Amino acid sequence: MPTKTIAGKTVEVDAEGFLVNPDDWNEDIAKELAKEEGINELTEMHWKVIHFMRQDYKERGQIPTIRRIKNAGGVPVQDLYKLFPDGPAKKAAKIAGLSKPQGCV
């Protein structure tokens, strides 16, 4: 697996830049990944989604879908598209240090 230095930490990433090991993640890495995805500043709502995704993944062992983020995380779908344009599940998962969600192209 290739490695990449993000926020001063060298981590393993897949071919699309997703972290291989979610335990390598920290909030500084999230901020850098967000900038790479065109999100210059992570707001309180961004963090709500990111932390929900990480906690849900930790508890259930799978990356939450948009529907799960809406239903269990309490974030309306239209807000997800505003927060993470052009593919909210994929971008949010990447910034949260998780692998690419199933079904994302």
The residues spanned by each domain of the chain are 3-95
Q: Is it the case that residue 104 has pLDDT exceeding 70?
A: no
Residues 9-22 pLDDT 10s: 999 999 999 999 99
Nearest to 68 by CA among 30, 98, 40: 98
Q: What is the pLDDT of residue 103?
A: 61
Per-residue buried b or exposed e for 44-65, using 16+ beta carbons within 10 Å of the residue's own CB = eebebbbebbbebbeeeeebbb
Question: Of these residues, 22, 87, 99, 104, which one is catalytic?
Answer: 104
Q: What is the pLDDT of residue 1?
A: 76
Residues 46-97 pLDDT 10s: 999 999 999 999 999 999 999 999 999 999 999 999 999 999 999 999 999 9
Contact 77, 49 (CB under 8 A): no
Backbone torsions φ then ψ of 11, nearest 5 degrees: -130, 155
Q: Is it the case that residue 102 has pLDDT exceeding 80?
A: no
Catalytic residue check, 73: no
For residues 16-41, give the mean pLDDT.
Answer: 97
